[in-house]
Amino acid sequence: MPRDAVAIAVVGATTLIGEELVRLLGERKFPVGEIRLLGTTRTAGRKIDEVTVGLVGQSAFDGIDVAFFAAGPAVSGEHVGSALRAGAVVIDASSRFRLEDTVPLVVPEVNAALLTRAEPPRLVATPSSTAVGLAVVLAPLVEAAGVRRVVVSTYQSAAGAGRRAVEYLSRESIALLSGRGEDDATQVRRAFNCIPQVGTVEIDGATTYEQAVADEVRKILVQPDLAIHVTAVRVPMFFGVAASVAVELERPLGLEAAREVLRDGRGILLHDDRETGAPTPADVIGSQATHVGRVREDPTVPGGLALWIALDSIEKGVALNAVEIAEILIRRAS
Amino acid sequence: MPRDAVAIAVVGATTLIGEELVRLLGERKFPVGEIRLLGTTRTAGRKIDEVTVGLVGQSAFDGIDVAFFAAGPAVSGEHVGSALRAGAVVIDASSRFRLEDTVPLVVPEVNAALLTRAEPPRLVATPSSTAVGLAVVLAPLVEAAGVRRVVVSTYQSAAGAGRRAVEYLSRESIALLSGRGEDDATQVRRAFNCIPQVGTVEIDGATTYEQAVADEVRKILVQPDLAIHVTAVRVPMFFGVAASVAVELERPLGLEAAREVLRDGRGILLHDDRETGAPTPADVIGSQATHVGRVREDPTVPGGLALWIALDSIEKGVALNAVEIAEILIRRAS
């Protein structure tokens, strides 16, 4: 792979994540030689900053070094193979390959080593933004004290469900505030409401999403037996994700030591509630850190430690993670 | 106390809770003889449906049988004594007396027996709406299986902080949606954001509110040693409260038995996620039940049971609770 003029493809260039990927490649002075924006028949032909979105397909990846996939799992399932066959390294932001044994699931702060092995991977998956935040925060705790169990309740924005969900929240909020009533009475109200269901409810009562977040965290931390219970809730925010997390450490740390471990954790920005207040999702939009606040001992269980996480679900949660993976692979290859 | 023409005072008649109290007294055909609306110097003189709000003070309770206090804890602290000395029974919806040993803290579905003892109480406190929901749901589980530990994350609306907080959320939402930017840049943004701090952060890291909810639940359930960990989060809803609850039962029940216990629980309306979806706060506004959904086993701990609660924080959470207490006391007295 060339170090100075990397040919990039972005599949799903019109999605929230695709747009943020392109923006970050510019902001971080990524050594882009060519950038090819790709989409499905629904979006191909649109223009983004004078560049026309091409149609993803068999020959779309000719000459591409790195292909980012920022469309849904179906598009990844259909077209990642073509990109790999064309010789590109693929970084997939969809859920399609995250839990496949042969595909590394990478959060650079935690397991970048997977990218610098003798035979670097040609297909890398980035986790869901919730799993990224949890992995960044749990990794140093696992190392310092061991983690026996984690109970998580999330506060997730519309952005996680895509651009149309963001627009829907906006329209429905305006409709309610202007007294026009609900935009679509056949749907559960999303504006000024909390919906405790992200994904489909499975037979055991967990949703597909909750199960996936737990599995992704276990995979990233290489803790296959980690007890992690997730309740995922959609809240009426446009961007960002937060989580209330109750951890049970194997070896109790004490509050000050726990704060020290978190403060030193890679990618963590620890807040002092009594000085700056706890981080909120709106505060951390545009930030590339995983923000942690409300750290306190939980005296209701041995080794109990409670904390709050907030991060930019699109930027830190997905796009930055994907770009950082590409940066490491390029440094490795050259 | 007369059974057919009860002289009522409502202190804090212009608050969200005060208004709902007055509405419920009418709706439930409460045997109101006289109704005296009272407020502080800030609100006295206003009119509500042609009735002028009087000033709470020394002689304001003369001839009153039942005084509801729906203003803040400071007003209750200052004036409940006058009401009691005037011979009224006081039902206090503020936090002022909730945790005092000599004051019963009542959720009728759970501990109405406190109201029908040989010497009925003259001062009764109603819990915070979060504690009401938790107590209603935990009571049958404590009875059927014992509860070892509870981990709670809340999703609380602006209404819990009062009418001005509701109006602020509305104004700030409109300002943001209309592109006028934030209403007050010195404040943490509340619209389209989640703030993990309700009350003041104390030295041990919990907020005053989180500590109070835990203490209230322990008191109502008469489980002084119950391990209950609460994280309270303000979300951008106008009304309602929800909670994600992870319970550890002393004696595992199995999912179907747990659902049976909840379905039979007093005041609980159990939802089947796969049929109707989980209850959301917006769905349950105006409902007098505590709604429960997302019931599932939590395999990460012995006896683990997870569930979601949603209730109308003003009506079911406070005003109805207060009116039901009055109804029981009146039946008892006559």
Specify the pLDDT at position A274: 76
A and B: number of Cβ contacts within 8 A? 163
Specify the pLDDT at position A299: 96
Nearest to B229 among A174, A206, A298 (CB): A298
Instruction: Summarize the confidence of residues B180-197 as an average pLDDT.
Output: 82
Instruction: Give chain A positions within 8 Å (CB) of B277.
Output: 188, 197
Nearest to A173 among B173, B227, B308 (CB): B173
Instruction: Give chain A positions within 8 Å (CB) of B297.
Output: 204-205
User: For residue A60, what are the CA distances in angstroms to A17, A64, A187, A329, B44?
Assistant: 20, 9, 38, 22, 73
Judge: domain B130-313, CATH 3.40.50.620: no
H helices present in A159-254, as ranges: 163-177, 208-221
Residue A179 predicted with pLDDT over 80: yes
What would the pLDDT profile of B242-284 be if each residue is shown by its tens digit?
999 999 999 999 999 999 999 999 999 999 877 788 999 999 9
Q: Cα distance from B150 to chain A (closest Cα, Å)?
A: 9
The residue assigned the tokens 């595992």 is B252
Nearest to A231 among B240, B274, B306 (CB): B306
Architecture per CATH, domain A6-127+318-333, reads as 3-Layer(aba) Sandwich (3.40)
Specify the pLDDT at position B89: 97
B182 — pLDDT class (breaks 50, 70, 90): low
Instruction: Summarize the confidence of residues B106-127 as an average pLDDT.
Output: 96
H helices present in chain B, as ranges: 16-27, 73-85, 108-111, 129-145, 163-177, 208-221, 255-264, 273-276, 320-333
Q: Cα distance from B26 to chain A (closest Cα, Å)?
A: 27
Spans of all domains in chain B: 6-127+318-333, 130-313
Q: State yes or no: ipTM above 0.90.
A: yes
Q: Provide the terminal-to-terminal Cα distance of chain B, rounded to the nearest Å.
A: 7
Instruction: Give chain A positions within 8 Å (CB) of B149.
Output: 300-301
Q: Among A121, A137, A96, which Cα is nearest to A271's?
A: A137
What would the pLDDT profile of A112-145 be if each residue is shown by its tens digit?
999 998 899 999 999 999 999 999 999 999 999 9
* Binary contact (A174, B177; C-beta < 8 A): yes
Specify the pLDDT at position B185: 65
* Binary contact (A236, B236; C-beta < 8 A): yes
pTM listed for this prediction? 0.96
Residue partners of B40: CB distance under 8 A and separation at least 6: B55, B56, B71, B75
Minimum Cα–Cα distance from B302: chain A residue: A227
Alpha-carbon span B1 to B7, nearest angstrom: 9
* Binary contact (A229, B306; C-beta < 8 A): yes
Label the pairing between strands A241-249 and A227-231. Answer: unpaired
Residue A44 predicted with pLDDT over 80: yes
What would the pLDDT profile of B31-85 be if each residue is shown by its tens digit?
999 999 999 999 999 998 888 999 999 899 999 999 999 999 999 999 999 999 9
Q: Which of A177, A300, A305, A313 to mutate to test the interface with B (most CBs of B within 10 A)?
A: A300
* Binary contact (A149, B246; C-beta < 8 A): no
User: For residue A258, what are the CA distances in angstroms to A136, A142, A278, B117?
Assistant: 14, 11, 17, 49
Residue A182 predicted with pLDDT over 80: no
A95 contacts A127 by C-beta, under 8 angstroms: no
Specify the pLDDT at position B333: 80
